[in-house]
Amino acid sequence: MADVAERAGVSAQTVSRVANDSPRVDPETRARVERAMSDLGYRMHRAARALRTGQSRTIGLIVSTLATVGNSRMLQSIAEVAAAGDYALTVATARGERGMLEAFARLHDEGVGGAIVLNEATPLTREAAVPEGMRLVAVDSAPDDRFALVQTDHAAGAAAATRHLLDLGHPTVHHLAGPADSFAAVERERGWREVLSSAGVTPPPVARGDWTSRSGHAAASGLVDSTAVFVANDQMALGALRAFADAGRRVPDDVAVVGFDDIVDAAEFRPPLTTVRQDFDELGARAVATLIALIEGREAAPLVSLPPALVVRSSSAV
């Protein structure tokens, strides 16, 4: 700290104030000190700062699984954005209500000021007692006054996919949905139903999987007579493509397929997959920005909804 003070031409106390985000430093002096810190490679000892200020500058991430493409992509984005804001990240897993209570207790004990709850873990949050003072941001959740929300507009994406298939001339569109307890799956199913109903088409029975390609293959085996299928995610769509190939059904000649997510490999499927793109990186970034604003006492939007985009490839049109 003394080296930084000497280089910036200020006192050690001023360097300490800058390191601890004190408002009692004018912008010009702060910039000079931060420049000296950067030049000298100075990093504040996080534990020492937490002891002095009572603020750990650590955020939590609560997940039920990191096996899904979306969750792993958002983990990377959240970690990068948090680090850029000089926040550390600690990850807690939660399965069941007891697991969520244990995750909250661990984060509270570590002095975490707030946490992001991802996807499958959000229903557990609604059932558990949130520690007093802990700010929460949920990614993909039904509304709850206790936390802010960041999500993709899943219903709009599903509507675009369904409308695309109807516009190609298909009399109806079947749906291979995700788990019934998933907010994203429910919203995608809602978008599909609303477009069919508005077109005067009675929605056919829903097939259901668990987001994995294996479940997509099993569920799509009952849809081999369909001419158009909207699948709730790309991994299940991969399984559906194999099920149709096993049944001798050509895609898109005999059956058109649209997925959701636009995972990295979607363009490499055979045929390349038409899908709905959601921006996992932006979801993670917005979740971190919202949480940090809440922790630092700044205004934050209670709901951030990001628009998806239909990406048309060979699986839906000849």
- Model pLDDT for residues 164-220, shown as the tens digit of each residue: 999 999 999 999 999 998 999 999 999 999 999 999 999 999 999 999 999 999 999
Question: In the prediction, which pLDDT does 207 show?
Answer: 98
Average pLDDT over residues 213-228: 97
Domain with CATH 3.40.50.2300 in the chain: 55-152+280-307, 154-278
pLDDT at 44: 56
- Residue 119 DSSP class: G
Sequence-distant (≥ 6) Cβ neighbours of residue 58 within 8 angstroms = 46, 87, 88, 89, 90, 110, 111, 112, 113
The first and second tokens of residue 44, run together, are 């504040």
Look at residues 62, 21, 57 and name the one whose alpha carbon lies nearest to residue 287: 62
Of 102-106, 110-114, 309-313, the range with the highest mean pLDDT is 309-313
- The whole-number average pLDDT for the span 52-63 is 75
Confidence check: pLDDT of 247 > 80: yes
| Predicted pLDDT of residue 124 | 77
- 154-278 homologous superfamily: Response regulator (3.40.50.2300)
Confidence of residue 234 (pLDDT cuts 50, 70, 90): very high
Q: Would you state the structure tokens that stand for residue 150, as one six-digit string?
A: 């960041």
Give the pLDDT confidence score for residue 317 in this predicted structure: 84
Return the bridge partners of 228, or none.
256
Q: What is the pLDDT of residue 43?
A: 62
Q: From 46, 1, 39, 66, select the one nearest 211 (Cα to Cα).
A: 66
Distance, in Å, from the CA atom of 37 to the CA atom of 15, rounded to the nearest integer, reads 9
Band of residue 301 on the pLDDT scale cut at 50, 70, 90: very high
Mean pLDDT confidence for 218-223: 97
Both structure tokens of 117: 């709850």
- Between helix 69-84 and helix 280-295 the angle, nearest 10°, is 50
CA torsion 199-203-204-210 (nearest 10°) is 120
Instruction: Fold for 2-44, please state it.
Output: 434 Repressor (Amino-terminal Domain) (1.10.260)
What secondary structure letter does DSSP report for 261? B
Distance of alpha carbon 105 from the chain centroid: 23
Residue corresponding to tokens 């950067």: 38
pLDDT per position as a tens digit, 113-130: 899 998 877 877 777 777
Residues 218-226 have a mean pLDDT of: 97
CATH 3.40.50.2300 fits 55-152+280-307, yes or no: yes
Q: Average of pLDDT values for 246-270? A: 96
